[in-house]
Amino acid sequence: MAWELLFSSDFGLMSFVVIVGVLIIGGVMGKMYANKIEEDSRKAGK
């Protein structure tokens, strides 16, 4: 029932879009932070 409500109603679809967006933003930010940490560690190692 919850899955049907998530994909068949207006507010369910909006919620799904928000959930996916948050996951994408989290992944992008995690990648950016990992790159920054790697860059800072390379600078400190010099």
pLDDT in the model for residue 46: 61
| Close Cβ partners of 15 (under 8 Å, ≥ 6 residues apart) | 6
Q: Would you say 16 and 6 are in contact if contact means Cβ atoms under 8 Å apart?
A: yes
pLDDT tens figures, 7-43:
999 999 999 999 999 999 999 999 999 999 999 999 9
